[in-house]
Structures are given as structure tokens and as C-alpha cells.
Chain A
């Protein structure tokens, strides 16, 4: 019973992390239909920039976080303007930007390795508090992972709900042609979502840096889980990405109550497989746009 409770809490925490990544990746995917694999290494860059600022320059962690966000936004927007947009303009077959995105992935990941060197990077200045609630344990970073999702997810929801550019994002997600018809500059919106999506990845990355340290390879899991969360939740739905992330976190944790942990990484894909087969539009998605 205690174990189940602990695994439930773990599921919420892990789910929050996946959900946030899913939201960042998902808003880019839903709005522009670009499978932005380079989201992974950009996540890595954010962690390393935060590490450099905090551990090497001795800046306070909030400042390091800002620098990480800035770096992620620059790279995210840069990858749209310099890489994806030219392909869109040339109306390249839709798999071509995907392969180009993988090319960018390789470039960025290895650049990080060259610039920052290999090995784990840790911010020593940070100490992680431990908390007990009855039989259940969690740490300060765990709390932050949930808090960041609530805050950023909430902020994003407010932005989408209450601002005119937020609604423009929703409009473009719903129907890009109609968005153009009512006078939305879809290029600006695309740049905006790349900025937002990348910015969202940075706090996640910084938390992982503080929790486990940064490695050059850390972006792979980030983008992979984000991708799965988006598909499970349903493409084009921010709420879906959150739910998808939680579903993933829960399955990964609670599912292991009975199943041996050697199957931990397959179980996410079993879930994905079943969801796609039984409910192709995802748990919360509307039918996929043509």
C-alpha cells in the first residue's frame, strides 16, 4: 500500500515533468506541424547554459534560469527562421524538414559536447531538501517540478485564453488557412510558438540539471517523452499534452508495481501503441487535420 502511494506520487512528479515537455513540444507541433526533434538538444543547451552561469560564473540560480531561457528561445526561433521556414517556402515534401531536424539534432548535440566537454555537470551550490508525508518521500526539486508545470501551464493557459496573440496561436492550431483569412500573420505566430515552446523547455532542463546534473545526451529522453506525451494526449491539444504526460508518468511509475522494471521504457510504447490503435486521435485530440 505504501509502495502504491509512493509510486502514485512519483507518477505525479514524473508526469509533471513529461507534461511540461509535452506542452512545449506540442505547442510547436500543433501550430506549425513541424516535428521539431532539435527540441532535445535545445533542452540540453538550456541546461548547460544554466550550469555555466551558476557553477562557473557564480550567478544566482534564477539568473541562470533566465540565461537558459534566453538561449533556448534564441535557438528555437533560429531553427525556425533559418531551417524550417525555407523548407516551408519551397514546399518541400513533409519528411524533409523532419530529416533536416535530425541533422540539426546531430549538429547541436555534438556542438554542446565540443564546447562544454563530456562528463556530468552539476551545480554544487544547490542542496536538495527532503520531505516526508507519512510514508511518502519527495524532494524540493520534485515539488518544483510540479510547481513549474502548474505555474507555466497556468501562465500558458492564461496567455492562450486571454491575449489576442494567444488566441491567434489557438486559431492557427485549429485552422491555419482561416487564420490567414482573418488577417493573422502566420509567420509571426510560428516564431512566437517556437519562442514559447523553447522557453518552456528551459525550466525543465534546469530542474533536471539541479536534480541529476547535465549530460550532453540528456535531450534525447526529453524530446522523446515529449513526443510520446503529445501523441498519447492528442495532437493539437495543450490539455491533451498535459494529460498525455501524466498518463506516461503514471504508467511508468504505477505500472511498475507489478511489472518488472526492465520493461519500464517499453511500457510507454505499449501505451502509445494501444492508444494509437484504439483511439488514433489521442486521448484528447480532435481528429487529425488533413
Chain B
């Protein structure tokens, strides 16, 4: 449970001349759910985008299963078993739900395994099966989020990175999404890195938690202490 599958070492990243992530070192261990908290503008999203290869880090390293993948293109990372669910519209709005899911398995060389995975995902989110032929953009926010997660699972990733899956969702839907994340973690053994602002609903599903503030890690460790609001307020 303690070997790092994905690791950031002194990662720095930003846009143009602006550095937003200032030397973050964090590792995601095999099989765990790691929660990263932080308020708006703390640099969480920039951190995971640099991790996933959507932007080139300014400094530092990214290691995946022990080998360095810093600055590698997303296509290669996806093929290697890392999946990313971006914030907001992580779907193709003009395509059907079914097409979205199928595109999730784009890098899979053997397409014959896809129907079976589709079944698994439909098992996880039955609503997606019901809405298979509906245009994704017309789904409700929660359904869109489930679809986005479903897409990411289509190539059976070993690491799943989720950027604020709860954003814009009603509380009951957030719970639903969180419980499915736990389910993914347990059923498929996927290691999960999740970024969140919704502390009460995301903390319970985390094995470990970290808080990022102004581009730096200010807390890393067990999630439980963060349940104390006073402590949390200090960190935020």
C-alpha cells in the first residue's frame, strides 16, 4: 500500500512567466485515494495539469511507476494507464453518451474489450446506459460528471486523476459521485488522485489528504485531523 505509483518531486508550473505551483512534492500510492484540498486559485488544477502532461512543468519531476515521465504528452500517459477527468466539461457535448464512452477507449488497441468495459461502467452508472443515445450536452450536471468519469475508466487506467468532480453539483449528487469513486477504487484497484473544495463529502472517501495553499503543500497526512473545522480554517 505504500509504493508510489505517481509522484511529483519539487514540481513547479505556471503560465507564461507566472509560476503558480511552487515546488510541490506529493506522491500517490498504489491503490489509495489521495485527496488534495485547497481554495480557489491555490494552484491545484495547475498542479494536476502539469502532472498529466497538459502543460510542461517549469521545474521538478514527475515519476510514474518509478520512471520519469516529466513533460510527456497526454496521449502517451493515457496509453500508459493514467486517466484525467478535467474540471467542468470533461465530455464532448455534441456527441452521444455512447460515443463519449467509446471515445474514452480511444487508445485501447484491442477494441473488442470495450463492450465488456462498457458493461462495467454501465453497472457503475446505470443512468448512462439509459441515456446512451442522448446528446451528452443535454445531460444534467451530475450525469455529465458520471459520464466524464466513465470515459476515463474506459481504458482501465491504473491511475485516475479527478479535478473537482463535485463542482456545480447538488449535495446529493456529490455524495453519489463520491461513493462511485470509492467503488472504482475498491472494485478496480485504481489509484485515485482527487482535487476538491468540498471538504465534508470528500474527506470520508480519502485514505490520505493534502492541502495546497498558494502553490505549496501546507498539510499532508491523514484525513481525520481535517475534519476539525478550526484546523481547516487555519489551513485555508
Direct contact of A and B (CB under 8 A): yes
Interface residues of A (CB under 8 A from B): 164, 167-168, 170-171, 173-175, 177-178, 180-185, 236, 286
B151 adjacent to chain A (CB < 8 Å): yes
Interface residues of B (CB under 8 A from A): 52, 54, 73-75, 77-79, 84, 86, 89-95, 99, 102-104, 106-107, 111, 137, 151-152, 155
Alpha-carbon distance A180/B89, docked complex (angstroms): 14
Contact (Cβ within 8 A) B90 A178 = yes
Alpha-carbon distance A164/B102, docked complex (angstroms): 8
Pairs A–B under 8 Å by Cβ, sample size 24: A167-B102, A168-B106, A170-B92, A171-B95, A171-B106, A173-B94, A175-B92, A178-B86, A178-B91, A178-B92, A180-B54, A181-B54, A181-B74, A181-B78, A181-B86, A182-B78, A182-B106, A182-B152, A183-B74, A183-B78, A183-B79, A184-B106, A236-B94, A286-B93
Shortest distance in angstroms between B9's beta carbon and chain A's nearest beta carbon?
23
Tell me whether A183 and B99 are in contact in the complex, defined as CB-CB below 8 angstroms, given that A170-B94, A174-B93, A178-B92 are known contacts: no
- A168 neighbours in B (Cβ, 8 Å): 103, 106
Contact (Cβ within 8 A) B107 A183 = yes
- A175 neighbours in B (Cβ, 8 Å): 89, 91-93
Alpha-carbon distance A182/B93, docked complex (angstroms): 15
Shortest distance in angstroms between B103's beta carbon and chain A's nearest beta carbon?
5
Shortest distance in angstroms between A270's beta carbon and chain B's nearest beta carbon?
29
Alpha-carbon distance A175/B111, docked complex (angstroms): 23
- Additional pairs, 5, CB under 8 Å, beyond known A181-B78, A183-B155, A184-B106: A178-B90, A181-B74, A182-B106, A183-B74, A286-B93
Alpha-carbon distance A153/B106, docked complex (angstroms): 24
Alpha-carbon distance A44/B92, docked complex (angstroms): 36
- B52 neighbours in A (Cβ, 8 Å): 181
Alpha-carbon distance A173/B99, docked complex (angstroms): 14
Shortest distance in angstroms between B79's beta carbon and chain A's nearest beta carbon?
6
Shortest distance in angstroms between B40's beta carbon and chain A's nearest beta carbon?
21
Alpha-carbon distance A89/B86, docked complex (angstroms): 24
Nearest to A172 among chain B residues (CB) is B92
Name which of B75, B77, B90, B111 has the most chain A CB atoms within 10 A of its CB: B75
Alpha-carbon distance A119/B79, docked complex (angstroms): 54
- B84 neighbours in A (Cβ, 8 Å): 181
Nearest to A185 among chain B residues (CB) is B75
Nearest to A165 among chain B residues (CB) is B106
- A177 neighbours in B (Cβ, 8 Å): 54, 86
- A183 neighbours in B (Cβ, 8 Å): 74-75, 77-79, 106-107, 155
Shortest distance in angstroms between A163's beta carbon and chain B's nearest beta carbon?
10
Shortest distance in angstroms between B99's beta carbon and chain A's nearest beta carbon?
6
Name which of A170, A173, A182, A185 has the most chain B CB atoms within 10 A of its CB: A182
Shortest distance in angstroms between A180's beta carbon and chain B's nearest beta carbon?
5
Shortest distance in angstroms between B87's beta carbon and chain A's nearest beta carbon?
11
Nearest to A180 among chain B residues (CB) is B74
Contact (Cβ within 8 A) B92 A164 = no
Alpha-carbon distance A171/B111, docked complex (angstroms): 18
Nearest to A164 among chain B residues (CB) is B106
Contact (Cβ within 8 A) B99 A170 = yes
- B74 neighbours in A (Cβ, 8 Å): 180-181, 183
- A180 neighbours in B (Cβ, 8 Å): 54, 73-75
Contact (Cβ within 8 A) B104 A182 = yes
The one of A174, A184, A185 in contact with B95, judged by C-beta atoms closer than 8 angstroms, is A174
Q: 10 closest Cβ contacts across the A-B interface?
A: A183-B78, A183-B107, A174-B92, A183-B75, A174-B94, A180-B74, A185-B75, A171-B103, A171-B92, A181-B84
- B111 neighbours in A (Cβ, 8 Å): 164
Shortest distance in angstroms between A29's beta carbon and chain B's nearest beta carbon?
16
Nearest to A186 among chain B residues (CB) is B75
